[in-house]
Amino acid sequence: MCGIVGVVGSNQATPVILDALRRLEYRGYDSAGIATLEHGHVERRRAAGKLDHLASLLARLPLPGVTGIGHTRWATHGAPTENNAHPHGTERVSVVHNGIIENFEELRRELEAAGQVFSTDTDSETIAQLVDYHLQRGLSPREAAHECLKRLEGAYALAMIFAGHDGMVIGARHGAPLVVGFGDNEMFLGSDSLALAPLTRRIAYLDDGDWAVITAAGAAFFDMAGNPVERPVRLTALIAASVGKDGYRHYMEKELHEHPVVIGQTLQRLIDPATRRVVMPDLPFDLAAIPRAVITACGSAFYAGMIGRYWIEQYARLPVDIDVASEMRYRNPPLAHGGLGLLISQSGETADTLAALRGMRAAGQHIVSVLNVEQSTMARESDAVLGTVAGPEISVASTKAFTAQLSVLACLTIAFGRARGTIDADQEERMVTNLLDLPSKATEVFERHDEIRRMAAIVAEARDVLYLGRGAMFPVALEGALKLKEITYIHAEAYAAGEMKHGPISLIDSTVPVVATVPSGPLFEKTLSNLQEAKARGGRLLVFTDMAGAPRLREIAECVVAIPTVDEFVAPILQTIPVQILAYEVALIKGTDVDQPRNLAKSVTVE
């Protein structure tokens, strides 16, 4: 899940590459590097740590040249040191790589036996050494790159430059995305279209197994057999202005405040406000004929899927299984004939989710993906895509993408219920009305910011935090605990509130805050009883609820944040927002790096 940029043109490449890498730093920030061609020679600069370290190095030691490649790394093989930073290479070739080469040990042994000298601990250097081996035996850069690609096993997106070949970059992809950007007498490569947003809106995606030879005049695409292929040039909707902080301190803060707009934009795509009906895109199958659905995803998207499961089973009466994608791809579960595989991913490139998609496809399932990037690999391999209109999400910790995913799943639930006859026209109108009210209700949540800050001050002092919720609030609790872990490094666990007495209650004392999501509704009294159990053991109760539930909870809780009361159907969407804000406020108190927490990266394109 590293970031890759390549540039071929007539202007200095390094400033363009460095600027593009800043837009890709969410993909990795363990180290960074740039290589260019200067008078036919490969020159490079690398630095451990975040991109600012590389920028400082370049200020002292500039790197001229109009052809170059750059990389920002999330370490897999080898520690995040300057020596292990990309680009890797020799005097003849320089390579940047996103992914994992699974047969690198075998290749490295072969190459060392043939006299190639390695200098890093990475799997990626194997690519450069293999290309160099072929170059030394008289192959052209195109031939050497192609021969190398034939031997690689695993996932990769690659960019290469070659000594003596100014004005050319070779790119390749297998299992990890790579985009070609078309400019005026200049061309670009990027891990995704976000990197190229200020440079061009004209892009082409490499298909799996493609490689491309890029010059300032254009790009030639080839399949793995070396046959020329055509790839369509598309216009991306991204523009440079969409990826800034807009005056906020962090991307996460900006993206939190975008919840109302994102929910509204996503619902607008799937709801006809005049008729108060859900309008699904054309699906190549009948929703009413689906016997069973399987939801799979990773991280926050998995928690969104859990809420989707509650909804679809409760309102549409359709049996739903749910699996973490990294487990499902190896568990090989039996799947119902003609069933639905429902996959959720922000990037549409998540390696584990993509592998699960392909497994379900092979098992004969219909495939629908909920995605924020509708030109992604998962989109191209799905029967249908339900898009989340969230815009770029730069902060590593996902926020607005989560509520956008829930908005889509809520609409899909209604469509399923209508098709199966479990939701009539009157109920659909009520459910749709509740959804359409959410953007304004979400705006009101931010009026509770001061109360959330007071709660954050308590959480920031803790070493361990317990999150509780019942029903669809259990995944909301899981999302809250994940956010706290991700950006504050405080240990947090979430449990279904009724499970607390079956073990976790032993952890509770006055040093362990108990954060609960308890909106009014059918499960309010049951959850209230669980909180009484925690309070009896000395637990400090910090509760998110609504206006209707607040009076009862204030009798027992140390801190209560009451947001607007909404129907139980849409309550999980709204309750998610203050839980995420809490994690952000705790991170501010702790002084951690909010947008780029340690050890993490976004768009996880490795297993």
Give the catalytic positions in this structure. Answer: 2, 602
DSSP letter for 563, please.
Answer: E
Q: Which residues of 460-499 are buried (b: 16+ CB within 10 A; e: fewer)?
A: bebeebbbbbbbbbbbbbbbbbbbbbbbbebebbbbbbbe
Torsion of CA 210, 214, 219, 221, to 10 degrees: -20
Q: How far is CA 294 from CA 330, 344, 384, in A?
A: 15, 11, 15
Could you tell me if 565 and 520 are in contact, meaning their C-beta atoms sit under 8 angstroms apart? yes
- What burial class does residue 209 get, using C-beta atoms within 10 Å of its C-beta: 0-12 exposed, 13-18 middle, 19+ buried? middle
Q: How open is the CA angle 170-171-173, to the nearest 5 degrees? A: 150
Helix (H, G, I), strand (E, B) or coil at 471: coil
Determine which helix (DSSP H) or strand (DSSP E) holds 546, and give its type and residue range.
Answer: strand 540-546
Per DSSP, the residues of 57-84 read HHHHS----SEEEEEEE--SSS-S-TTT
Residue in the structure block whose two tokens are 């998540």: 350
Q: Which two tokens stand for residue 217?
A: 């005049």
Rounded Cα–Cα distance for residues 194 and 276 (Å): 35
Q: Which residues of 126-147 are buried (b: 16+ CB within 10 A; e: fewer)?
A: bbbbbbbbbbeeebebbebbbb
Residue in the structure block whose two tokens are 């297993």: 607
Rounded Cα–Cα distance for residues 61 and 59 (Å): 6
Could you tell me if 151 and 129 are in contact, meaning their C-beta atoms sit under 8 angstroms apart? no
Instruction: Quote the strand ranges of 353-512, DSSP E.
Output: 366-371, 384-387, 464-469, 491-496
| Cα 398 to the center of its chain, rounded Å | 7
Rounded Cα–Cα distance for residues 356 and 434 (Å): 33
Residue in the structure block whose two tokens are 């190398």: 148
Strands in 179-182's sheet, in edge-to-edge order, are 41-48, 31-38, 67-73, 3-8, 187-190, 179-182, 202-205, 234-235
Rounded Cα–Cα distance for residues 121 and 485 (Å): 30
Rounded Cα–Cα distance for residues 369 and 358 (Å): 12
